[in-house]
Amino acid sequence: MIQVIMGLKGSGKTKRLIDAINAAVASAQGDVVCIEYGKQLTYDVNYRVRLVNSKEYGINNIDKLKGLLSGLHAGNFDITNVYIDNLYKTIGTDRATGEEFILWCAEFAQANNMNITITVSDDAAGASDAVKAYLV
């Protein structure tokens, strides 16, 4: 399953993400991973969450982020929840490439029995119909 939290800057996306992460830690049957751009969430999420700073791994495009997700899963089949904060900053891209990544995540999550939640700083009204299906 995939969920996309989309809104303009200051709309509360990160707060919603933090709440979802902490709720997942309390109820998840597996491991919880959060990929963030920088180290903003260190003190906001439960200590059991594996925080991954995408800057430290040179993640700056869609292929590298796909590789990181694939590698995380290959190294730990117990990951049930993945959270990606600030997609556009992480992969430094535009709406079309971001939507391509979201659709790839939907297939990846289904194939690997994972829940993936992504925050996107963009106007939800401009999202394609395919992406709108995942908006929460």
Residue 28 banded pLDDT, cuts 50, 70, 90: confident
pLDDT digits (tens, 9 = 90+) for 49-72: 999 999 999 999 999 999 999 999
- Position 8 scores a pLDDT of 92
Residue 84 has a pLDDT of 97
Whether the pLDDT of residue 26 is over 90: the answer is yes
Report pLDDT for 60.
93
Q: Provide the mean pLDDT of the chain.
A: 94
Q: Which CATH class is domain 2-132?
A: alpha beta
| 110 pLDDT higher than 90 | yes
Output the 3-class SS for 41-97.
CCCCCCCCCEEEEHHHHCCCCHHHHHHHHHHHHHHCCCEEEEEECCHHHHHCCCHHH
pLDDT of residue 32: 97
pLDDT in tens, 73-103: 999 999 999 999 999 999 987 788 999 999 9
Identify the pLDDT of residue 72.
Answer: 96
Element (H, E) at 36: strand 31-36
When pLDDT is averaged across residues 41-53 and rounded to a whole number, the result is 94
Structural domain boundaries of the chain?
2-132
State the pLDDT at residue 63. Answer: 95
